[in-house]
Amino acid sequence: MFRRRSSDAPAAPDEDQAGPDPAAGYEDRPRPGLTPPKGAPTPKRSEAQANRRQPYQAPADRKSAGQQSRQRDRAQRVRRSEALQRGEEWALPPKDRGPVRGLARDVVDSRRGIGEYYMAMVVVLIVLLIVPGKTTKLVADVVVVGLLLIIIVEGYFVGTKVKKLAAERYPGQSTRGIMMYTLMRGISMRRMRIPKPRVSRGDKI
């Protein structure tokens, strides 16, 4: 019934002499790509994820929730306004977007035009119209007509220049409405223009 162990058969290893269990301490092993700090054990995955999480702190009451919402809205408006002033594409309204519109702004801002003094001239004309007298009103009418003609002619030449440059640099891009765009940009005072000018007067465009 019982076979006698052969003297040539290898002896079974004792439990004390057996190698380490492959499954033992699996969670304590360092994962590939992660190097634990010296002298500290490798954290478990659940502990690492818990450390990375920052739970959302819900406002205590309705008033606090409204205050937080207003602060977020205010911060977003300030960020968008600053980006608009710098001329960042994502913050621009549709009428100001595109490389052709940016080129038109640069062309207008690089020159000193008569149109940018339009608002100052309008104030002078209002004063002239208030002053009684037929001669004064006649002079004001002549000045108004002459000023409008100068602005229109100037806007036409600037718009034509923009169209020519756009055809050379951005072929295939639409130039629709560029004449009116350059005209309205040109009659705005330089420091009141939005987006702010990114070129100086006299720069070559």
Residue 126 located in a structural domain: yes
Q: Is the pTM of this model over 0.75?
A: no
Do 74 and 152 lie in one domain? The reply is no
Written as tens digits, the pLDDT of the chain (205 aa) is 445 554 454 444 444 444 444 444 444 455 554 555 555 566 666 665 655 555 556 666 777 778 888 888 899 999 989 999 988 999 999 999 999 999 999 999 999 888 888 888 888 888 877 877 788 888 888 888 888 899 999 999 999 999 999 999 999 999 999 999 999 999 998 989 999 999 999 999 8
Residue 21 located in a structural domain: no
Do 109 and 127 lie in one domain? The reply is yes
Q: What is the pLDDT of residue 71?
A: 87
Do 78 and 109 lie in one domain? The reply is no
Do 76 and 145 lie in one domain? The reply is no
Task: Show which of 36, 71, 92 is a domain's final residue.
Answer: 92
Do 191 and 115 lie in one domain? The reply is yes
164: domain range?
93-205
Q: What is the pLDDT of residue 56?
A: 54
Do 106 and 146 lie in one domain? The reply is yes
Residue 3 located in a structural domain: no
Q: What is the pLDDT of residue 16?
A: 46
Tally of domains within the chain: 2
Which residue, among 116, 138, 118, has the nearest Cα to 128 in the 3D structure? 138
Residue 10 located in a structural domain: no
59 φ, ψ (degrees, to nearest 5): -60, 150
Do 86 and 167 lie in one domain? The reply is no
Residue 141 located in a structural domain: yes
